[in-house]
Amino acid sequence: MFGISVVITCYCECELIYVAITSILSQSVFRVFNSK
C-alpha cells in the first residue's frame, strides 16, 4: 500500500510539472503569434 501511494504522489507531481510547463510554453507561443 505504501508503494502505491508513493507512485500516485510522484505521478501527481509529474502531472503538475507537465501542466505548468505546457501552460508556460503555450503562453510564450501565444505572445509570439500576437506580436506579429
- pTM, two decimal places: 0.57
Confidence check: pLDDT of 36 > 80:
no
Higher pLDDT, 35 or 16: 16
The pLDDT score that the predictor gives to residue 1 is 62
The pLDDT score that the predictor gives to residue 7 is 87
Whose CA is closest to 22, among 33, 10, 34, 30? 30
The pLDDT score that the predictor gives to residue 23 is 97
DSSP state of 1: -
Residue listed under C-alpha cell 509570439: 32
